[in-house]
Amino acid sequence: MTQNEGVATLILDKTADPAPLGFTGLGLSAVLLSLSYIGVYPVGSMIVSMAIFLGGFAQVFAGIMAWKKGDIFAGTAFSAFGLFWFSLAGLIIMPALGWVEAPSSIAMAAYLAVWGVYTFVMLIATMKIGVRAIQFVFVTLFILFMLLAVVNATGSTGLLVVAGFVGLIMGLGALYTALSIVLNNVYGKTVAPL
């Protein structure tokens, strides 16, 4: 018989909340991509780099950290959307390298519409979570995906600019969410409401 037999050990999880990292990855990548939709600059290496290294890695890392903390929503959402950014970069890089043909407009419309449906499903979960800032990000992200699906199906350049502004609003909303979580944690009180 050992001395500690029957004694429960409590292990505290002192790891940080990964949500600010995930929302930062989403927000910065979306803002920069949306500016290209508006016409500020073309899609180029800066967009692809952001998609891979911030949109992709930051969100996947946040998803893994959230999963470890037992947060199934954040773990699933950040991981899936991080992998979206990797797949988007692949859709740009692989045809440029000559590995595969670029997707047709209708194929891109389907790709974006499927992501819109997924976003809507995750949006339903945010209603239970009840954090308005997160709900705002998912509502605007859903609208963005559906607008981009229509743009790809119809080729409407005017609607692409509208989608760019929606994406800009969504990205800024994600950045606000990230900053709010950080500020509220650092100050130990509600500095920026969520």
Burial (Cβ within 10 Å: 0-12, 13-18, ≥19) of residue 115: buried
pLDDT tens digits for range 62-101: 999 999 999 999 999 999 999 999 999 999 999 999 999 9
Query: What are the tens digits of pLDDT across the range 113-131?
Result: 999 999 999 999 999 999 9
Please give the backbone phi and psi of residue 63, each rounded to the nearest 5 degrees, phi first.
Answer: -65, -40
Q: Is residue 148 part of a domain?
A: yes
* Residue 8 domain-assigned (yes or no): no
Q: What pTM does this model have?
A: 0.91
What domain range includes position 78?
A: 19-187
**Whole-number Å distance between alpha carbons of 22 and 122:** 15
Kindly state whether residue 110 falls inside one of the protein's structural domains. yes
Q: Determine, yes or no, domain membership for 90.
A: yes
Domain-located, residue 2: no
Number of Cα atoms under 13 Å in the Cβ half of residue 25: 28
Q: Is the dihedral of CA 43, 44, 47, 51 positive or negative?
A: positive
Polymer length in residues for the chain:
194
pLDDT tens string 136-152 = 999 999 999 999 999 99
The answer to whether residue 3 sits within a structural domain is no
Number of structural domains the chain divides into? 1
Rg (alpha carbons) of the chain, rounded to whole number: 19
Separation CA 117–CA 161 (nearest Å)? 22
